[in-house]
Amino acid sequence: AQSVTQPDIHITVSEGASLELRCNYSYGATPYLFWYVQSPGQGLQLLLKYFSGDTLVQGIKGFEAEFKRSQSSFNLRKPSVHWSDAAEYFCAVVLNDMRFGAGTRLTVKP
Amino acid sequence: NAGVTQTPKFQVLKTGQSMTLQCAQDMNHNSMYWYRQDPGMGLRLIYYSASEGTTDKGEVPNGYNVSRLNKREFSLRLESAAPSQTSVYFCASSREPRAPGELFFGEGSRLTVL
């Protein structure tokens, strides 16, 4: 079945530490790939997207993601987390329509 | 820039009552969507409208109806609310049909059905 999986429900990192959020998809073809962020009480905001070409994609707020076809993954990374990065992060894929993962909630410790 | 505006932000209903969630976008987008967000399940597509005058079912359409009133407005109606419809509802819009590009989201409408 076609699906998008975020294996980590909740991650806690210290401010200044690096971050990696995982996303795996199960589709026959390579879909378009997205990462969105949701701050408390807000809608979702696009962080970055991958359609084709360079597999390392730069986004807003210092985030980047790497597409790995062999692993069907599109993991989100940030070298140094700031307290304001605390939010919920959603991976999404588009093949015929947009499907979202269940989300990963990020807590940042001072 | 207003972007995507949803009303109301909060609503409490009793089982069997009806209500309509309103959504308007001012970005001249062709496509509009209604999602529901439930803990541990991400966002699930209820209905979408690829263009003015068209609507299509998404992943979880049962119990809902929609109206694409004009290019700006896309409403979601619950005819007879059930506790299983307690959720946060998000309206979104995109330039392209079926969201191959970026979605722009409203701030959400939290609905509780008692």
Query: Cβ contacts (< 8 Å) between B56 and chain A: which residues?
Result: none
Query: Cβ contacts (< 8 Å) between B43 and chain A: which residues?
Result: 44, 90, 100
Cβ pair A57, A67 in contact under 8 A = yes
CA nearest neighbour of B103 among B7, B29, B28: B29
Of A34, A42, A97, Cβ closest to residue B107: A42
Establish if A94 touches chain B: CB-CB under 8 angstroms: yes
Coil, helix or strand for B92?
A: strand
Of B58, B101, B105, Cβ closest to residue A44: B105
Average pLDDT over residues B65-92: 96
Instruction: List chain A pLDDT tens, one digit each, 110 residues.
Output: 678 999 999 999 999 999 999 999 987 777 889 999 999 888 899 999 998 888 999 999 999 999 999 999 999 999 999 999 999 999 998 877 788 999 999 999 99
Q: Say how far apart CA B113 and CA B13 lie, in whole Å.
A: 5
Cβ pair B93, B106 in contact under 8 A = no
The 10s digit of each residue's pLDDT in B98-110 is 656 688 999 999 9
Query: CA angle, corner B19, sides to A45 and B49, nearest 5?
Result: 50
Q: Say how far apart CA A89 and CA A44 lie, in whole Å.
A: 9
- Which tokens go with A19? 């971050």
- CB contact burial B31-62 (16+ within 10 A = b; e otherwise): bbbbbbbeeeebbbbbbbbbeeeebeebebbe
The 10s digit of each residue's pLDDT in B36-58 is 999 888 899 999 998 888 999 99
Coil, helix or strand for A44?
A: strand
* Phi then psi dihedrals of residue B30, to 5 deg: -80, -35
Query: CA angle, corner B44, sides to B52 and B75, nearest 5?
Result: 35
